Amino acid sequence: MWLPPWVKEIGAAIGLVLSGVAFVRLVVSGRSAFVDVLTWSGVVGAAVFTLLALIAAIRPDKDVTWRARIGFAAVAVGVPVFTASITAHGDDSLLIILGATLYFITGILVYVIYEERKKARADAVKECPDCLETVKRGARVCRYCGYRWPEELT
């Protein structure tokens, strides 16, 4: 995934906190409070989306063309303007949709982080051919059965 690990983890944390708040509000106060939380989550989602677009526009990356940077900047300006213009007319449906989308993206981020960490853990170990226990990748001797790997394989 294009995003650096810290951005994914912060995004997942924000989404999980908002999801918890929404669930508690739904249980305690009913549907209208849940819709309020979805609306505020939409505001947060629009702000985060705008910040990510700004970061993508000004990020020092030689592979990103000026045309793409202008597109990112246009999105960073357009999302809050579009959201504010619709909300100014008293229609919160866009914010509710953005809030629900934020929860969906949170689920995807949590899954991606889980899979990346699972792969990193799998890459950090190897299996002993004698006893089938897992040991650290750099091990030369199995700590369970004493099997010695040939030097070219360690």
Per-position pLDDT tens, the chain of length 154: 455 677 777 777 877 787 787 777 777 777 777 777 777 777 777 787 788 778 777 877 777 788 888 888 888 888 788 877 877 777 777 777 777 777 777 778 788 888 888 888 889 999 999 999 999 999 999 999 999 998 875 5
**End-to-end CA separation in angstroms for the chain:** 30
* Rounded Cα distance, 140 and 148, in Å: 6
* Rounded Cα distance, 27 and 47, in Å: 27
